[in-house]
A and B are shown apart, each in its own frame.
Chain A
């Protein structure tokens, strides 16, 4: 059942990258004139994001010009606008959402500023999470020296074994030399 009340709607448009940003702005103006104003809609908030790289290709395009508009429009006329935008080849994709009246919508710059303000805090909270990790890490650290010690123990005996062997060889050589000399003397 169509919503007949006048509400605030948010419209996000992805405009084809074949248009330049200025052409995109002109195209938005034409959309407003052709589809929004005849339906008795008003455009309030407007945020032009510019050209952005898409997370995945849409209609074989990897970029699009992003625009966010706020419309004050009769809900029953929204279906028509939706269809018109869908058929518009210059609009790669669009999204219409209801705007919450509780929270003010932020522009892209404000969102980035908000992130810059709050991301360090999130990293802190991540550090809190990482506090648990050192315990596991400590266990690893604990186990590692043991392993290393075990490895050393394994390595050391070999060295100990090899050294006497070398000594024995040298001793043997000395003995052999002495024996040879004795043999030569005997002859």
Chain B
């Protein structure tokens, strides 16, 4: 179930400015079972960080730290 009520952006809380594509374990939290990027309504990530997250997930996929599909 998506969480619509209380939004808590993890990256804002931890004050992460740049999301590192090398940190696959962190990125994995924002991917679903099929390695698709979760909607931000689902994870509570703010728009600014969602855009950065998407970019770093794509980089991470390119260097095979994350998968494209499962």
Residue of A nearest to B8 (CB): A125
27 A–B pairs (Cβ distance < 8 Å), ordered by A? A54-B64, A55-B61, A55-B64, A55-B65, A55-B67, A56-B64, A56-B68, A58-B64, A66-B63, A93-B62, A93-B63, A95-B62, A97-B21, A97-B59, A102-B18, A103-B18, A106-B20, A106-B22, A108-B22, A111-B23, A114-B23, A115-B23, A118-B14, A119-B25, A121-B14, A122-B10, A132-B3
**Bitwise interface map of A from 40 to 70 toward B, beta carbon under 8 Å scored 1, else 0:** 0000000000000011101000001010100
List residues of chain A with CB within 8 A of the CB of B53: none
Residue of B nearest to A95 (CB): B63
Given A55-B65, A106-B22, A118-B14, 14 additional A-B pairs, CB 8 A: A14-B64, A56-B64, A58-B64, A93-B62, A95-B62, A95-B63, A97-B59, A102-B18, A106-B20, A115-B26, A119-B25, A125-B10, A128-B8, A136-B1
CB contacts under 8 Å to A, within B16-68, are 17-18, 20-23, 25-26, 29, 59, 61-68
Residue of B nearest to A105 (CB): B20
Q: Are B64's CB and A93's CB within 8 A?
A: yes
Q: Are B64's CB and A129's CB within 8 A?
A: no
Q: Within 8 Å of chain B (Cβ to Cβ): is A100?
A: yes
Name which of B22, B65, B68 has the most chain A CB atoms within 10 A of its CB.
B22
Q: How many residue pairs bridge A and B at CB < 8 Å?
A: 56
Q: Within 8 Å of chain B (Cβ to Cβ): is A12?
A: yes
B interface residue numbers (CB < 8 A to A)? 1, 3, 5, 8, 10, 13-14, 17-18, 20-23, 25-26, 29, 59, 61-68
Q: Are B59's CB and A103's CB within 8 A?
A: no
CB contacts under 8 Å to B, within A115-142, are 115, 118-119, 121-122, 125, 128-129, 132, 136
Q: Secondary structure at chain A's binding surface: helix, strand, loop or mixed?
A: mixed
List residues of chain A with CB within 8 A of the CB of B3: 129, 132
Q: Are A115's CB and B25's CB within 8 A?
A: yes
A103 to B22, CA, bound (A): 14
Residue of A nearest to B22 (CB): A111
Residue of A nearest to B24 (CB): A55
List residues of chain B with CB within 8 A of the CB of A125: 8, 10, 13
Q: Are A64's CB and B64's CB within 8 A?
A: yes
A105 to B17, CA, bound (A): 12
**Contacts A118-B14, A125-B10; is A68 near B62 (CB within 8 Å)?**
no
List residues of chain B with CB within 8 A of the CB of A122: 10, 29
